[in-house]
Chains A and B, each alone.
Chain A
Amino acid sequence: MTPTSGGAAALPERVHVLVVGAGFGGIAAAVRLSQAGHDLRVLEKADDVGGTWRDNSYPGAGCDVQSHLYSFSFAMNPDWTRSFSLQPEIHAYLHDVVRRFDVGRFIRCGVEVLGARWDDARSVWAVTTSAGDVLADVLVNASGPLSEPRLPDGVTTDTFTGTVMHTARWDSSLDLTGRRVAVVGTGASAIQLVPQVAKVAASVTVMQRTPAWVIPRNQHRIPAWRRALYRRVPAVQKGVRGAIYAGRELMVLGFVGRPALMRTVELLSRRTMEKAISDPHLRAVLTPRYRAGCKRILISDDFYPALARPNVEVVPQAVTRLEGDEVVGAGGTRRTADVVVFATGFEATDLPVARHVVGRAGRSLADVWSGTGMQALRGATVTGFPNLFFLIGPNTGLGHSSMVHVIESQLAYLLDALDLMRRKGFDVMEPQQRAQDAWNADVQERLSMTIWATGGCSSWYQDAQGRISTLWPGTTWRLRRQTRRVDLGEYRTARRADGAAPAPAPSAQPAAQPAAEQAVATQGGR
């Protein structure tokens, strides 16, 4: 079986909408945009769709949001086998969505976007790819904030004699049985990986810079009768999804409204730790010194028990270098290792794609953002970069709920923009600076009172200047409301300057009831 049911779409010279990345965002865009009758292509640099859920194939990889919620509102899956899905099942789900909605024909895998420059004269994005040049009226970045692996700064690995890996570039041919493994990091990836490795490895050294608050996942299998029920009566699953959604939205109270509520999370975490770990020394090392929620709250049923195993050691130090067969910690500690796994996350605030996108004034997005941090209007569009849309753009990340919900909100915004272009007959739209500034001022003001700003930690939510450029300070419902419709008052719109022919009319799919489809998209997900 080929990994995807498509993925080899032809690359035309010109396309109306070009989407970069075929993860959750790109696939959803392909489905919704094709349903709305837009001409589109999705470019994926890897050989397969799936994005995060293709890359993160390390043992134990899974999602921190319940399966029923972590899926598209327009493609519910009654067959989830666990309350929290593991990576293979989510990856398979994405393949299934591609097949079910027959969007493989819009997706081209193995093509990397090397650069994109706004051609102001022709009012198009001139996109350079590894398979040639493409012109696009609208460019959609769906490459995601968690796609480019990050390694800790200044760690030298060149004299290390063992194997070095990042969790998001897992080599499944590597057998860890009987090996001495060092895992760098105690974040979301590490706590899923460590219990799996500890089962087989001779020793596991966990290098910990800052501990996390960890609460139970309560993972359970979904029995066959429930799955059958969801299949026959989809409303039941919708109800479960709604309940999960509502419960998670309540957590915003703690993150955003009253950080003191997070003490209850800390209490739960301490109890969980006490049950699993009897050694008070280890417990002290694992107890964070910041308010829960400031860094991502992690969920796991097996992390603490794994750390209590005699073959696992937590070294509460940052890694400085790998040398010979040793991992050297910041305090000069040395631990031998055959394999070092960096579970150190992603470049969330320094998006590589930003370096490749050059806007109206000839400046790259990275250049524009280098002074201000990542900024966009409604997490979607950026002044100076006409017709560029983000899925999971600046300040749309969540600490509490499903990013799939955010993606669908942002897709609704994109669809509305494309629909307005079509109906009102303009070709170019660019947010006005004052609208973007006002939006960001409001977001930053609301962020300033949240746990992420006041909790007493540094986290990947913050950029190098300490500005939180990744998170949405509110409910997902609020984000959805604020991205339901494009307010043209916030934009400058224009017709194509040289009167060049617009993109070819949609050929792949008839424009079947776009309005009705859109309504579903904006209401779904609850």
Chain B
Amino acid sequence: MRLPHDFVPPVPRTRTTVASADGTRIAVEVHGPDGAPTVVLGHGWTCSAGFWGRVLHRLGDEVRAVVYDQRGHGRSEHVPRGACTTDALVEDLEAVLLATVPDGERAVVGGHSMGAMALVALAGERPAVLRDKVCAALLASTGVGRLVDEARVVPHPGPLRAVAKAMTQRGMSDARLLTMLPRWGRRVAVSHITLSPAADRHERAYCTDVVLACPPHTRAGFARMLAGLDLGNHLKALDVPALVLCGTQDRLTPPRHSHRITAALPQSLGLVELSGIGHMTPVQSPDAVADAVRRLVRDHHVTAATVTA
């Protein structure tokens, strides 16, 4: 199947590699013209920088978009399972921000799912970086804890709740399970977990390919991290204007996560709920995600000039 044109990400103007604190090489792409407001976007579990392609096409030359591959994903260096931790994601994001956001400028930083978790964790652990480099935040389709408990991947009629939970955990972390399925089975499984029924065939095929492209041990490594995630206390440290966005049909991080996050943020700009959309909002609702980025840039971006003024 040939994907529509905007699924193919724009060609990055430049590419660089940034070394994280533990030396892991993080692949970074820069899109859009120098001098435009910087937007840094972090993708979620099992995705890659190209996952932002549909959003980047919509943003065009309005912003200088920095997208990067999380460790173990895409073109970034592969790491052992033990190196798939929240702390490592924070260090990776820190390295990217320090390397790509020009001095004096504070960027709009957005994350989808695990990418947003990295930003929340950074707020708690690197307040100085948040203060110096981040002017506003976009938290798309994410949660800060109880991810396995609240996921609705496996339907759980009352008494079978524990079974459903175990299945979810197993399904997320077993490196082989997905690859053992036939091609159509993978598409059904990935579409069920990450997309809403409203998704079209291109979105289904694309998301399946993206998830399958993630090395199994990376998928498993971060599944363990996600299962134990608890960032509830870090939310109040994210003291920048922040917009929350989620799909109402999200099975992986259902809207109740976003409701809680919106309520806990010190400078919440509210919640954008996308009706009938699943977890992969940058794929299923690229217009809404691009609009959210635009809104943050318009209202909150801080350039070097504004800082000195």
Contact = CB atoms under 8 A, between A and B. Distances in A.
Contact of A280 (B14, B15, B209): B209
B36 to A, nearest CB: 13
A332 B34 CA distance: 12
Interface string B106-126: 000000000000000000000
Given A281-B9, A284-B3, A287-B2, A333 B14 contact: yes
Contacts of B27: 310
Interface stretch (A149-157, A313-321, A406-414, A445-453): A313-321
A288 to B, nearest CB: 10
B15 A278 contact: no
A251 to B, nearest CB: 24
B3 A279 contact: no
Contacts of A280: 3, 7, 50, 206, 209-210, 213
A371 interface: no
B8 A310 contact: no
B53 A281 contact: yes
Contact of A281 (B2, B48, B77): B48
B228 interface: no
A283 B1 CA distance: 11
Contacts of A289: 2
B11 A279 contact: no
B74 interface: yes
Nearest to A329: B11
Among A289, A329, A331, A333, chain B packs the most CB atoms within 10 A around the CB of A333
B212 interface: yes
A279 B12 contact: no
B75 interface: yes
B15 A313 contact: yes
A67 B149 CA distance: 63
B50 A279 contact: yes
Contacts of A335: 14-15
A209 interface: no
Nearest to A277: B213
A335 to B, nearest CB: 7
Nearest to B2: A287
A316 B210 contact: no
A515 interface: no
Contacts, number: 46
A285 interface: yes
B8 A315 contact: no
Number of contact residues on B: which range applies?
20 to 34
A285 B15 contact: no
Nearest to B212: A278
A334 B29 CA distance: 11
Given A278-B212, A334-B13, A334-B14, A285 B75 contact: no
B75 A333 contact: no
A316 B209 contact: no
B100 to A, nearest CB: 15
A279 B74 contact: yes
Contact of A333 (B2, B12, B48, B210): B12
Contacts of B3: 280, 284
Contact of B50 (A281, A315, A333, A334): A281
A331 B56 CA distance: 15
A19 B210 CA distance: 57
Contacts of B75: 310
Interface in A249-307: 278-281, 283-285, 287, 289
Contacts of A315: 11
A86 B75 CA distance: 32
Interface string B15-55: 10000000000010000000000000000000010100100
Given A279-B74, A281-B53, A287-B2, A316 B48 contact: no
Contact of B8 (A281, A313, A329): A281
A284 B11 contact: no
Contacts of A310: 27, 75, 77
A164 B55 CA distance: 37
B8 A285 contact: yes
Interface string A317-348: 10000000000010111110000000000000
A313 B212 CA distance: 20
A278 B213 contact: yes
Contacts of B7: 280, 284
B15 A279 contact: no
Given A287-B2, A310-B75, A331 B11 contact: yes
Contacts of A316: 11
Interface in B55-103: 74-75, 77
Contacts of A283: 209
Nearest to B53: A281
A278 B2 CA distance: 16
Contacts of B48: 279, 281
A255 B100 CA distance: 50
B280 to A, nearest CB: 13
A323 to B, nearest CB: 14
A240 B188 CA distance: 47
A209 to B, nearest CB: 13
3 shortest interchain CB distances as A-B pairs:
A280-B209, A281-B50, A278-B213
Interface of B: 2-3, 7-15, 27, 48, 50, 53, 74-75, 77, 206, 209-210, 212-213
Given A279-B48, A310-B27, 8 more contacts: A280-B206, A281-B8, A285-B8, A287-B2, A310-B77, A315-B11, A329-B11, A333-B14
28 contacts: A278-B212, A278-B213, A279-B48, A279-B50, A280-B3, A280-B50, A280-B206, A281-B8, A281-B9, A281-B48, A281-B50, A281-B53, A283-B209, A284-B8, A285-B8, A287-B2, A310-B77, A313-B15, A315-B11, A316-B11, A329-B11, A331-B10, A331-B11, A331-B13, A333-B12, A333-B14, A334-B13, A335-B15
